[in-house]
Amino acid sequence: MNLNHLNTAKKPMIAVPITANNLDDIKQSIIAINNNQHIDLVEWRVDFFNNLHNFSMLKQANELLKKKLKLPLLITFRTVNEGGHFNNSEAEYFKLLDLMIAEMKPDLLDVELAHQNSLIKNVIQNAHQNNILVIESNHDFNRTPVKLEMCKRLVQIQNDGADIAKIAYMPKDNSDVLNLMKFTDFAKNNLSIPIVSMSMGNLGKITRLYGYQFGSCITFASLNDSSAPGQLTVDTLNNVLKLLNE
C-alpha cells in the first residue's frame, strides 16, 4: 500500500470498521462494503469477534476478508482501556500482534501507543519486515489532552517508526474540538508522517467531516454499526465531502 498521496489528496480516505462478532456477519459486512463505492479502507475490529481466542476461526475470517474485499485491510484489536473489547494481559496483546503479522498479513496493523515502548518498536520493525504498515494510535474517551501532551504523544509515535499517527479524543466543549483541529494543522506541518485525528461524540462530528482540511488524512465512518461515538454513515459523510469539494 502506498501512502504518498495521503497528504495531497483532495478528500480524506474513508475507512469503514467491521464490528461483526461472527463469521456470518462478517460475510454480510463484506457484501455491504463491496456494494458501496465510497470506501477506501476497511478496518477489521478483531476485538469485537467472539472467537478472538480461537486462532483457526480468526484465520478463516481473515482469509475470507482478504479474498473477498477489493480494498486494503487494516487489522485492529482495541483494548478496553482505549474503548475496545480486548481485555487480556500485555503479553497476550503483543503475542496476538506477532501472530497477526506472521499469519494474517494485513496491509495495515493498528498498534496502541499506551504499551511498553520497546515492545512497540519491535512490533513495528517486525511489521515492516513483512511489508505491513503500522498505524500507531492513542485514544481517550474521557478528555482531550492539552497541546503539549498531544505533541509529546505524536512525536513518540513518529520516533517509534510508525507510518501513520492516529489520535481520537473526547471533547468536553467546543474549545477541545477547536484545539484538536488547530493541533492537527500544526502537526501536519511539523511531523514527517501522516496524521489521523478526530474528536469523538456529537461535538466532534465536524472533525470527521472537515478534519482533512486541517491535515487528518483518514476519516472513519460506519455502514451499519459504528465503532466509536460520533461516527457518521459513509453516505452522509460522502455527501458532505462532495459539497465541501464543489
Active site residues: 139, 166
Please check if 60 is assigned to a binding site: no
Q: Does 228 bind ligand DQA (CB under 6 A)?
A: yes
d(CA 234, CA 219) in angstroms, rounded, equals 10
Please check if 136 is assigned to a binding site: no
- Give the range of 52-60, 112-120, 175-183, 223-231 binding ligand DQA by CB under 6 A: 223-231
Q: Which is nearer to ligand DQA, 193 or 198 (CB)?
A: 198
Strands 164-169 and 195-199: parallel
Q: Does 179 bind ligand DQA (CB under 6 A)?
A: no
d(CA 137, CA 149) in angstroms, rounded, equals 14
With contact defined as beta carbons under 8 Å apart, do 196 and 164 qualify?
yes
The C-alpha cell that represents 28 in the structure block: 454480510
Please check if 156 is assigned to a binding site: no
Q: Which is nearer to ligand DQA, 43 or 160 (CB)?
A: 43
Of residues 98 through 117, those in contact with ligand DQA by CB under 6 A are: 110
Q: Which is nearer to ligand DQA, 153 or 166 (CB)?
A: 166
Q: Does 76 bind ligand DQA (CB under 6 A)?
A: yes
Q: C-beta of 217: minimal distance to ligand DQA in Å?
A: 13
With contact defined as beta carbons under 8 Å apart, do 192 and 159 qualify?
no
Q: C-beta of 183: minimal distance to ligand DQA in Å?
A: 16
Binding mask 7-46 for ligand DQA (x = CB under 6 A): ----------x-------------------------x-x-
Burial 202-236 (b: 16+ CB within 10 A, else e): ebbbbbbbbbbebbbbbbbbbbeeebbebbbebee
Which one-letter amino acid corresponds to residue 13?
A: M
Please check if 129 is assigned to a binding site: no
d(CA 222, CA 231) in angstroms, rounded, equals 7
Rg (Cα) of the chain, in Å, rounded?
A: 17
With contact defined as beta carbons under 8 Å apart, do 227 and 200 qualify?
no
Q: Which of 61, 200, 209, 223 binds ligand DQA (CB under 6 A)?
A: 200
Q: Does 220 bind ligand DQA (CB under 6 A)?
A: yes
Please check if 143 is assigned to a binding site: no
Of residues 138 through 177, those in contact with ligand DQA by CB under 6 A are: 166, 168
Please check if 78 is assigned to a binding site: yes
With contact defined as beta carbons under 8 Å apart, do 76 and 43 qualify?
yes
d(CA 194, CA 13) in angstroms, rounded, equals 12
Feature table: binding site for 3-dehydroquinate? 43-45, 78, 208, 227, 231
Under the rule (CB under 6 A), what is the footprint of ligand DQA? 17, 43, 45, 76, 78, 110, 137, 166, 168, 198, 200, 220, 227-228, 231
